[in-house]
Chain A
Amino acid sequence: MPQIFSRTANILSKASIAAVGLLVVVLGGVLWAVMMSPYYTNVNITREQPVPFSHKHHAGELGIDCRYCHTSVEKSSFAGVPPTQTCMTCHSQIWTNAPMLEPVRASYRDNKSLSWTRVNALPDYVYFNHSIHVAKGVGCTTCHGPIAQMPLTYKANTLYMGWCLDCHRQPEKYLRPKSEVFNPNYVPPANQTELGAQLVKDYKIIPLQERQSCSTCHR
């Protein structure tokens, strides 16, 4: 009877054992890379907006406080997107004829809201609340990134649950004094760990078990 397989079958069969292991590792790595890439997370990608609003100009160069526009951030779960009237407090006086601002004026004229494209969005099954985070020393830029340097707004973090838990498990790495929460140019001091640990105590941050319990965010 002739041989069923050629000599190379020996090598192929041994190589296939290694290939299976390699395939699992490579496939896992590729999946992880895709999941962490801007392609999937939209991190660092600017979105098209009805008006090319620049946080860099308004919050950075002009130094307008975050709360001037995002009025409900200290009282509500939602930070608030300003109505056209807020824009018009200034733009009825300056740049009144700028073509770039025509959609704002149109919105004001027709009493029709500008429809901004949402940049940072959480799934509906997460009960995120801005007010508690702001009240406990989590700065705007801790989550929203260097907003004062963004000519066009982009998402600065993945907003994955792992990213939330990173801070919920070790808030001392990120907390800042309440007076600095709305400072868009805040740089953490060299002794952040000690300062953070002190702030965790001072601000009476709830214990770890409650911070990472499922029902704290998924009610």
Chain B
Amino acid sequence: MKGWVFGLLIAFSLLMLLNLVVVLLMVKGVGIWGINIPVGWGFAIVNFVWWIGIGHAGTLISAILLLLRQQWRTSINRFAEAMTLFAVACAGMFPLLHMGRPWLFFWLTPYPNSMYLWPQFRSPLVWDVFAVSTYLTVSLLFWYVGLIPDLATLRDKTAKPILQKIYGVFALGWRGSAVHWTRYETASLLLAGLATPLVVSVHTVVSFDFSVGQVAGWHTTIFPPYFVAGAIYSGFAMVLTLAIPIRKYYGLEGYITMRHLNNMAKVMLATGLIVAYGYVFEFFMAFYSGNQYDRFAIINRLHGPYAPFYYALWVCNIFIPQLLWSKKIRENTFILFIISVIVNLGMWLERFVIVVISLHRDFLPSSWRMYYPTRWDWATYLGTLGLFFTLLYLFLRVLPAISMSEMRVLVVETDPKRKH
């Protein structure tokens, strides 16, 4: 409890920092950030892609692993889904704030208006709006539907009338009858079916934001698969970053077992290798294509002013995670935690490399310019971290972080003494 209050306090202070930044941004405009021409995207888009990628592990765990009947997902799916929701909430802030006039965000949606105007459907930025809002809706529904039986349990267990009412409203009159359970199962499967394509489609569309453009370093066909793999990679890294402390401080070793950590580390290793393949092929294609701009983009990564970021990216994302080949390391929670944090950092660097290094030296040397984040860039980023962790702390307190109903089923089904 003390630790929880302390953690929430830090997260909440950062959330207040976000409030401050947003107010300042509304008053002064995006000029408080370090963005310029040619680097018009900067931290806002780096962080957007980073956050949205993190969400993907939650969807993968809850949807695809449900369809594949991977029972080990049961104890991690609830908070992985919550993580998805909170990460999408953080991600969504950035493009909105980056618009400069966030109160006109609805211009991005097609609705009958006095301008007789539709959004530009040929623009990937509009696809992004649909991809992310669909993702948020489906994730929210999936998470909520999964929560219904547990909310009913909470309603029945609590003695306070006000809590009974609140949990009762959200439990939608769940009585746990056989009819309820059949409908629940059907709804979960349907939602899993809806969410499955989203694991692939959302980050594919995000990668289109770049690859449909002509900037050297962006305009490649490998972007969609390599972005999706990167998203799952960073997502699992974030699940591990959260799961390891949670299981330790809440004594959940019996639920989130070594097998879970081991499996997640393996997924991280596999997706990390796909990402490495992507990096190698960016290299190869730059030289094989013979395109001088593509070639320059790679040389600029290696020798340009931001080269240290590129080398750090390789170390964080490719070299250090190779330690996960060893079972000993996969089962050492401390080292695994450190590696997962490093991968999170590495994936952030990847987005920095893609956004900033490609933009800061584009086709015309006369327009080349350096990008330096201001303290408000950092404050916005830290602020969304605050939002994420505030939501997470509240979630851990108010809702069951591990699905109780699924756990009950699992305990019965895997009981060795059970016969039939």
Contact = CB atoms under 8 A, between A and B. Distances in A.
Nearest to B116: A162
Contacts of B113: 162
A4 B116 contact: no
A13 B117 contact: no
Interface residues of A, number: 16
Contacts of A84: none
B115 A162 contact: yes
A161 B117 contact: yes
B101 to A, nearest CB: 13
A95 interface: no
Nearest to A16: B169
A160 interface: yes
A160 B168 CA distance: 48
A10 B169 CA distance: 11
B173 A161 contact: no
Contacts of B161: 4
B164 A32 contact: no
* Contact residues of B: prevailing secondary structure: loop
Given A4-B155, A4-B165, A4-B168, A35 B173 contact: no
A70 B116 CA distance: 31
Interface string A154-174: 000010111101100000000
A163 B113 CA distance: 11
Given A4-B155, A13-B173, A158 B114 contact: yes
Residue among A4, A35, A161, A162 with the highest chain B CB neighbour number at 10 A: A4
A42 to B, nearest CB: 14
B407 interface: no
Interface of A: 1, 4-5, 9-10, 13, 32, 35-36, 158, 160-163, 165-166
10 contacts: A4-B161, A4-B164, A4-B168, A5-B165, A10-B173, A36-B114, A158-B114, A160-B114, A160-B115, A165-B115
10 nearest A-B residue pairs (beta carbon): A162-B116, A161-B115, A160-B114, A165-B116, A4-B168, A4-B164, A162-B114, A162-B115, A35-B114, A5-B168
Given A13-B173, A161-B117, A162-B113, 11 more contacts: A1-B156, A4-B161, A4-B165, A5-B168, A10-B173, A161-B114, A161-B115, A162-B116, A162-B117, A163-B114, A165-B115
